[in-house]
Amino acid sequence: MEEIKTKKCAKCGAIKPLEDFPKLAKSPDGRNSYCKECQKAYTKQWVADHPERAKATAKKSRDKHKDALTKKRRKDRAEKPEVFLKYSRDFSEKNPDKILLYEARKRAKEFGLPCTITEEDIVIPEFCPILRVRLIRGAIDNNRDSCPSLDRIRPELGYVKGNVAVMSYRANRIKNDATADEHRRIADWMDAQTQSTQEFNVIDPELIEFGRGLGERLLENTKRAIDEAVTGLAQIPVGSYFDKNPRLAPMSLSPAQTKEAA
Ligand SMILES: [Zn+2]
């Protein structure tokens, strides 16, 4: 039977199998002096104590292994598209400003425009300032209309401080590169077209139904009121009324006749 190689941890003093120590090429036995558990706790503490240096070290490592990381990401994406999709959706939901900045930088490069804004310049409101719809964070597969989108107020100036605004994707798409005057002309023209074709407009069927109901109820109430009035009149003895007001009696009814009728 093969003997299991062990090692004593320089931190906690526990004797553990060699595999429980991280690999370290420059060490004589090829393993770290701290066990995996102790090394993990030590690193965590060091990162907490030195946030700036930890950030720089992480960036250096990322830059050094950039090609390998890109390759791995591509491989993961191809092998597990659903995991990748969920990750990217979660990320864009939590960091919509980062996504907008990333897209702005890409577009600026594409169109040869300046892009000097930072994340702080991207303020995402709850509602689209133009169309008033609630802005939905996170990618939506088929309908991007309500997603936040970064607009260049004057497109030719690029993504610079004071020239960006967040609005719905739909508002941005409609605004495009038109001037305010051009938009007004389009709106005026659309209004004019709508007025000239008003007679062809289809009336809301719900409104027609409402009107019909209202008319029917009115007619019913009127009928009931007439019925009640007629019934009430019929209950008054005709003779007694004309006896008291003989001058009002119809010419065809003499006081004697009215007595008979009663
Ligand atoms: Zn240990």
- Say whether pLDDT at 255 is over 60: no
Residue 78 lies in a domain: no
Residues 176 and 111 occupy one common structural domain: yes
Residue 235 lies in a domain: no
Domain end (from 155, 172, 194):
194
Which CATH number covers residue 151? Answer: 3.30.40.220
Q: Is residue 5 part of a domain?
A: no
CA of 64 to the centre of ligand 1 (A): 30
Distance 30 CA to ligand 1 centre (A): 16
Within-domain flag for 87: no
- Of residues 259 and 184, more confidently modeled: 184
Three-state SS annotation for 1-15: CCCCCEEECCCCCCE
Q: Does the structure show a pLDDT above 60 at 254?
A: no
Rg over alpha carbons for the chain, rounded to the nearest Å, is 42
pLDDT in tens, 185-244: 999 999 988 877 665 666 677 888 888 889 999 999 999 988 888 887 777 666 666 677
Q: Which 8-state DSSP code applies to residue 135?
A: P
Residues 41 and 130 in one domain: no
* Same domain as 162, residue 100: yes
Nearest of 40, 43, 66 to residue 54 by alpha carbon? 43
Q: Full-prediction pTM beyond 0.75?
A: no
Q: Clarify whether residues 26 and 99 are in a common domain.
A: no
What the block records as the tokens of 9 is: 């941890």
In this structure, which amino acid lies at residue 240? S
Q: Is 184 inside any structural domain? A: yes
CA 252–ligand 1 middle distance (angstroms): 127
Residue 72: inside a domain:
no
- Please write the tens of the pLDDT for every residue from 109-155: 999 999 999 999 999 999 999 999 999 887 556 678 999 999 999 99
Domain boundary among 194, 216, 242: 194
The pLDDT assigned to 115 comes to: 96
Q: Which structural domain range is residue 179 located in?
A: 95-194
CB atoms within 10 A of CB 168: 25
CA of 35 relative to ligand 1 center, distance in Å = 4
The Cα 190–Cα 192 span in angstroms is 5
In a domain, 42, yes or no: yes
Q: Of all helices (H) and strands (E), which one includes residue 164?
A: strand 164-168
Residue 251 confidence class, pLDDT cut points 50, 70, 90: low
What tens digit of pLDDT does each residue of 6-57 get?
999 999 999 999 999 999 999 999 999 999 999 999 999 999 999 999 999 9
Spell out the residues 6+ positions from residue 10 whose beta carbon is closer than 8 angstroms to its own.
33, 34
Distance between Cα 193 and ligand 1 center (Å):
80
Domains contained in the chain, number: 2
Q: Which residues surround ligand 1, an ion (CB under 5 A)?
A: 9, 11-12, 35, 38
Same domain, 38 and 104: no
Tokens of 113: 């425009």
Within-domain flag for 178: yes
pLDDT of 75 higher than 60: yes
Backbone angles phi and psi of 201, in degrees to 5: -60, 140
What secondary structure letter does DSSP report for 137? P
Report how far ligand 1's centroid is from the alpha carbon of 46 (Å). 16
